[in-house]
């Protein structure tokens, strides 16, 4: 991909709304959906805004730009060792593995 400062950006926005049985499934499904958009539309996302976010549902807007090319390709988001949990401070932590 060309550096951002050396080319005109073609900004794009995509909406994703997902329900899942738990937070881990929600994260994997969300990232998988974003990956599908990335591959089919040739887009790179740099920001996400969550309109709704619970442990089992989300409604979000991805913001990014049209990509000329990608370096390393992510083939899939996997459930292997995936885990989302809230730590003692009340913030969320995750482990996620991508198939490259």
The answer to whether residue 3 scores a pLDDT higher than 80 is no
Enumerate the H helices of 1-100 as residue ranges: 23-41
Give residue 8's pLDDT.
62
Is 14 within the bounds of a domain?
yes
pLDDT tens readout for residues 14-64: 999 999 999 999 999 999 999 999 999 999 999 999 999 999 999 999 999
Is 94 within the bounds of a domain?
yes
Question: What average pLDDT does the segment 1-12 reach?
Answer: 62
Bridge partners of residue 52, in order along the sequence: 59
How many domains in the chain?
1
Domain that holds residue 81: 10-99
Is 3 within the bounds of a domain?
no
The CATH number linked to 64 is 3.55.10.10
The answer to whether residue 6 scores a pLDDT higher than 80 is no
Each as own residue / partner, the long-range contacts of residues 89-93 (CB below 8 Å, 24 or more positions apart, any chain) are 92/23
Which pTM does this prediction carry?
A: 0.83
| Radius of gyration of the CA atoms of the chain, in A | 15
Is 2 within the bounds of a domain?
no
């Amino acid at each position: 991909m060309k550096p951002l400062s050396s080319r005109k950006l073609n900004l794009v926005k995509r909406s994703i709304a997902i329900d899942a049985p738990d937070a881990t499934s929600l994260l994997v499904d969300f990232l998988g959906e974003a990956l599908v958009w990335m591959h089919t539309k040739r887009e790179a996302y740099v920001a996400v805004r969550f309109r709704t976010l619970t442990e089992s549902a989300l409604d979000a807007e991805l913001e990014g730009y049209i990509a000329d090319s990608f370096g390393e390709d992510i083939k899939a988001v996997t459930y292997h060792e995936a885990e989302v949990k809230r730590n003692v401070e009340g913030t969320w932590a995750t482990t996620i593995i991508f198939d490259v």
